[in-house]
Amino acid sequence: MPERLRQALPSVLSVLLALAVCWSLIALTMTPGTATAAYVEMLWGGIGNWPAWLNGAAATVITRPLGEAAMKAALLTLTGLSVAVAFKVGLFNIGAQGQMILGALAAAVVGAHVSLPAVLHIPAALVAAALAGAAWAGLAALLKLYRGVHEVISTIMLNWVALRLVDNWLVIGPLRGVAEGGQSITGTAEIQATATLPRLLGELSRLNLGFPLALLLAVVVWLWLERTRTGFETRAVGLGAEAARTAGVPVAKRTGVAMALAGAMAGLAGAVLVLGTEGRYPGTLGAPYGFDGIAIALIGNNHPLGAMGAALFFGVLRAGGTRMQLLDVHKSFPELIQGLALLFVAGRMVWLALLRRHEAAASVASVEVPRA
């Protein structure tokens, strides 16, 4: 079996097992028919209801679900990249959520309070978000490099600082949007039209520029890690900091840059959320995509393209999952599938052992070194 396939297999099997377990759970609490119907609903809600379209329904039965799935996939890809990049340099970035919050706020402020033509406004807001996220992650990197504070501790704590700072003060205090006649509104002022990410299919769906941007970044990050000297050095630091230092790699610099890049990715996720669909920093920022990023990165085996693949899959699942409610299936099942998949991926060694035994049984003499 090719090495690359072997690496991906535990993730795929874990996801399939999670799907099977959740199907059984629904089937046990309701009926097998309902469980199957719910999965089919979820599929149509994620990739579009093709049968309905072929039966003559409007194109929106396909474009809307695809747009929602793409939107979620874009956010998950970016936060997944954030965690994966930090992993490559040997850091566990639990702080993607906080970095995303800062990025979202920066995008909302630049989007609302700066006047520029669209060609400059969108990049300006995106860059601001990336810088904000990078700065927030940079704090954790500085603490790590100069004070030896473990990044897991510092990023978790910085998440809370970000949440309190932004959600509990800035957004309801100095930056709160004001409506005419003193109507109460939630969140910051609405961003200007020039800062809104253009929709790729117009009125047909909410699919916007954020999706191709996320895919592009995944490929760029992958190329950087695999095909450049600095990327190689970054991976070398992750595999063994002391060995890398001995070999002349500037460990502190690579660590700082990788962590800042991780923060920038999470910050961009916030920007895509604000500039793409919300139009402002909402009263409370969306689902915890930053924490989902950890799951996405792990299921994607900390590979940029793996994270992208996992994000696409779970984007479809999450977008379609809402439809399960139409059959009175609880709204939490898509998250449950993701959580179970993560749990099974964590049992990676078990999968690998099982696979090895299977191959041994097939009497294929393997000379590959087992990977942890």
Partner 1 sequence: MLRLHVLALAALLCACSKKEEPPPAGAPGTATAQQPAKAPIPVGLVIDVGGRGDHSFNDAALRGLELYAAGKRYEGGKYVDASPEEIRQSLPPFLASLSSSIQPLPVKPMVLQSKAQEDYAPNLQLLVDQGAQLTIGNGYMLANAVRTAAQENPKSQFLLIDSQVLDAQGKVLKLPNVRTVLFKEQEGSFLVGALAGLVTKTNKVGFVGGIEVPLIQRFEVGYRAGVKTTNPQAAQALMAVYTGSFNNMAAGKQVAQDLIAKGADILFHAAGADGIGVIQAVKEARAAGKSVYAIGVDSDQSHVAPDAILTSMMKFTDLAIYQATKDLVDGKFSAGEQVVGLKENGVGMAEVRVDFPNKAEALQKVDALRQRIVSGQLQVPAVPGDLATFQAAAP
Q: Which CB atom, from 47 or from 252, has the smaller least distance to partner 1?
A: 47
Of 2-10, 126-134, 294-302, 322-330, the window that binds partner 1 (rule: CB under 8 A) is: 322-330
d(CA 320, CA 311): 14
The secondary element (H helix, E strand) that includes residue 202 is none
Of these, 21, 172, 201, 343, which contacts partner 1 (CB under 8 A)? 172
Note whether 24 binds partner 1 by CB under 8 A: no
Taking residues 174 to 213 in sequence order and writing x for each that binds partner 1 by CB under 8 A, - otherwise, the string is ---xxxxxxxxxx--xx--x---------x--x-------
Contact 75, 241 (CB under 8 A): no
Contact 190, 280 (CB under 8 A): yes
Cα–Cα–Cα angle for 356, 362, 367, nearest 5°? 50
Of 76-84, 299-307, 326-334, 340-348, the window that binds partner 1 (rule: CB under 8 A) is: 326-334
Note whether 54 binds partner 1 by CB under 8 A: yes
Cα torsion for 77, 83, 87, 88, to the nearest 10°? 40
Cα torsion for 133, 139, 141, 143, to the nearest 10°? -160
Of these, 1, 24, 28, 50, which contacts partner 1 (CB under 8 A)? 50
The radius of gyration computed from the CA coordinates of the chain, to the nearest angstrom, equals 22
Query: Least separation, in Å, of the C-beta of 269 and partner 1?
Result: 12
Report which residue type is found at 4: R
Q: Which CB atom, from 41 or from 151, has the smaller least distance to partner 1?
A: 41
Of these, 25, 302, 322, 347, which contacts partner 1 (CB under 8 A)? 322
Note whether 354 binds partner 1 by CB under 8 A: no
Longest dimension (CA), the chain: 78
Of these, 6, 18, 68, 310, which contacts partner 1 (CB under 8 A)? 68
Q: How many residues bind partner 1 (CB under 8 A)?
A: 60
Distances 278 to 176, 190, 282 between C-alpha atoms, Å: 15, 9, 7
Contact 57, 49 (CB under 8 A): yes
Least Cα distance to 82 among 299, 348, 313, 296 occurs for 296
Q: Which CB atom, from 12 or from 185, has the smaller least distance to partner 1?
A: 185
Binding site for partner 1 (CB under 8 A): 29-30, 33-34, 36-37, 40-41, 44-45, 50-52, 54-55, 57-58, 60-61, 64, 68, 71, 168, 172-173, 177-186, 189-190, 193, 203, 206, 273, 277-279, 282-287, 319, 322-323, 325-326, 328-331, 335
